[in-house]
Amino acid sequence: MPRLYLVLLANKRAFQEARKWALDNPSEPPRNAARIFDVKEDTLRQSIHRAKLKVAQSSIRLPKGRGGQNKILTPIQEEAIVRYCYDQWEVGLGATYTMVKSAIAHLLEVQIAPQNPPSNRWFSSWLKKTPHLHTIKTKPMEAIRLETHTEEEVRAWFQELGDEMARLQIDSGKKVLNMDESGIRVGCPSAEKVVVPVAIVQLYTPTQGSRKTVTVIETVRGDGKKTLPPFVICPGEHIILSWVSPNLTGEETITFSTTGYINNSLIMEYGYHLIKHSHASPSKPWKLLLLDGHESHYFKEFVLLLQENHIQPWYFPSHLTHVLQPLDVGIFRPWKHYHSAAVNSALRSLDLSYTVSSLLRDLSQIRENTIVYHTICNAFRTSGIWPLSCKAGIKNMQSFGKKHQLESAEAEELALPQLPPNRPAEQVWQASTAIESFIGRDPTQFSDNTRDIFSESMKQASVQLQKAYLTSTELALLQHKLQESNKKKNTSRRSLKGNGGSAVCVADLRLQIKAKAAEEKQVGLKKASKALSTAIGKHKESLRVAGVAARKVNKARKLEIQEIFRRGGEVYADSELYIQEREPDKQPTIIEEKSKLH
């Protein structure tokens, strides 16, 4: 363990103990605590002053008749919002700023005198003044890599890079490219800030069921312009129809592998993707491709393919990509932030599963927020790649090390969250029982104590009704999500055949989908035509059988009439024997005639 880390950790613990001792012993001056625990007196004095000021501010109450002109929520509505935040914590999610603001807006909209949604400034001020709520950050937090390298190694690498750029005549940022793979855990979001009851100090949020890894290869240029489309590797053995989202631009390339990771075969497919979209060829000026030392990046056929098309690969030093590679320095972190935001948004909107299809649906929006001009230029500048600057690269490496040591020193052992007292379920039943006891009684006959109980019970009932409205909104959304999920189950795993396992552009996939839909339409028409012909044939046969039966009946009646006449009898004109049975095959009705037509 680094010595600096141990020193920082010991100093922090000593300062915390000194601060606690000084607050527990207010009669002692801060200099005594600073001397006992060997910490800086001025820093300790300021920390103690801030703590006392915070306690004093929380205890201040405005006199009656003054202030409160911007009070939007009633006490009952505030209590309903607190209960709502508690419920969100209890299911393991927590309520984000947006969720709490939306809940407040819903309550204001449905009251007797509707009000407009509150402003962001009002909401921030209200949250700070509400003693029952505060904000925390969900767990866990990713660990950050730290490796030690000498500055001489970095200087030597930059010197070699500068010589190579001079040899290839790399004189503009558009000729400098950086590619890297990022493994995306499909349904696993990172930490976020949520609003929870003040008794809650930590929150472990659940992740979606899908933990599959999708590899997204991004390629950016040093000038921040004309970013290449992503190359996406999904886990599986086919390209699934639902992956081809209408939100995609059409230039993305989608392929698959059994693991979702890159291999020698797929790196060749990426090479063709790179050559196509970077407009490289043997007749074009040389370009420089910066990449890490992944095994597949050294594949001889891949390197040869690039060099034949005037793309020279150049590899970062081992274990230094996090400080020298532009994609790692300033792009993939916000990329994963917006991916996490998309997962959390789906989770809170009761999306039952965040899958590979969901990721590809949100991919364009994630990249639109991340792969932007100023972000790319800052990443290249900070890492010292373009404009080429060894000084900037070393500075970034040094600052990264300090940042990691400070974050490590501040890390503490995780504790299990505590349950706050007076859980809402108990309050619901207490209020319900109290209200039932008042049914049939005359309020004017209540004693002072009973009147107080009645008033508090009515208040609790009003709080629960307001919170029930928020809950009913969520349940309606959940029901809609369930219906949509059931509709998608039948077609969610349909795959595109005949792509040979190679990488395919989304635009080509859409053409395949269109052709497949046309083919399925023709097959469906043939099946429908055959079914219709079969039905018409069966109907004609039924008419023929009915006609034969009718003719037999008519013939039998004629024979019966002849027999009566032969014996000298009479058959009256209105006799049923003269009624002829209709023969459906020869005398069809209008409906039967139409049903015989093809």
Give the CATH number of the domain where residue 161 resides. 3.30.420.10
Give the chain's domain count: 3
**What is the model's pLDDT at position 204?**
58
Q: How far is CA 566 from the centre of its chain?
A: 94
More confident residue, 62 or 562: 562
Worst-scoring range by mean pLDDT, 338-347, 370-379, 428-437?
A: 428-437
418 falls within a domain: no
Let me know whether 54 and 185 are in one domain.
Answer: no
pLDDT in tens, 492-521: 567 775 455 578 898 988 888 888 889 989
319 within 8 A of 145, measured Cβ to Cβ: yes
pLDDT over threshold 50, residue 6:
yes
pLDDT over threshold 90, residue 420:
no
Worst-scoring range by mean pLDDT, 80-89, 320-329, 341-350, 411-420?
A: 411-420
pLDDT over threshold 60, residue 597:
no
The helix/strand/coil state of 496 is strand
- Compute the distance between CA of residue 269 and CA of residue 263 in angstroms, rounded to an integer: 10
More confident residue, 482 or 541: 541
- Compute the distance between CA of residue 253 and CA of residue 360 in angstroms, rounded to an integer: 11
570 within 8 A of 561, measured Cβ to Cβ: no
Element holding 220 (H helix, E strand):
strand 213-221
**What is the model's pLDDT at position 417?**
40
501 falls within a domain: no
Q: Select the highest-mean-pLDDT range: 29-33, 45-49, 217-221, 471-475.
A: 217-221
- Compute the distance between CA of residue 287 and CA of residue 168 in angstroms, rounded to an integer: 8
pLDDT in tens, 91-107: 666 788 888 888 888 88
308 falls within a domain: yes
Quick one: pLDDT band at residue 594, thresholds 50, 70, 90?
low
86 within 8 A of 120, measured Cβ to Cβ: no
458 falls within a domain: no
Q: 10 is written with which tokens?
A: 């010991």
Bridging pattern class, strands 287-291 and 311-315 = parallel
250: containing domain: 151-410
pLDDT over threshold 80, residue 385:
yes
Let me know whether 168 and 297 are in one domain.
Answer: yes
Which residue, among 242, 243, 271, has the nearest Cα to 255 in the 3D structure?
243
Let me know whether 264 and 380 are in one domain.
Answer: yes
Three-class SS string for 436-477?
Answer: HHHCCCCHHHCCHHHHHHHHHHHHHHHHHHHHHHHHHHHHHH
423 falls within a domain: no
Across residues 452-479, what is the average pLDDT?
A: 77
Let me know whether 268 and 383 are in one domain.
Answer: yes
575 falls within a domain: yes
Q: 547 is written with which tokens?
A: 């006609």
Quick one: pLDDT band at residue 62, thresholds 50, 70, 90?
very low
193 within 8 A of 96, measured Cβ to Cβ: yes
Across residues 546-551, what is the average pLDDT?
A: 88
> Distances in Å between the alpha carbon of 170 and those of 228, 271, 307, 385, 518?
19, 20, 15, 12, 49
284 falls within a domain: yes
pTM: 0.60
pLDDT over threshold 90, residue 335:
yes
Of 365, 387, 410, which one is at a domain's C-terminal end? 410
440 falls within a domain: no
- Compute the distance between CA of residue 287 and CA of residue 306 in angstroms, rounded to an integer: 10
Of 410, 427, 461, which one is at a domain's C-terminal end? 410
Across residues 158-171, what is the average pLDDT?
A: 96
Of 377, 410, 443, which one is at a domain's C-terminal end? 410
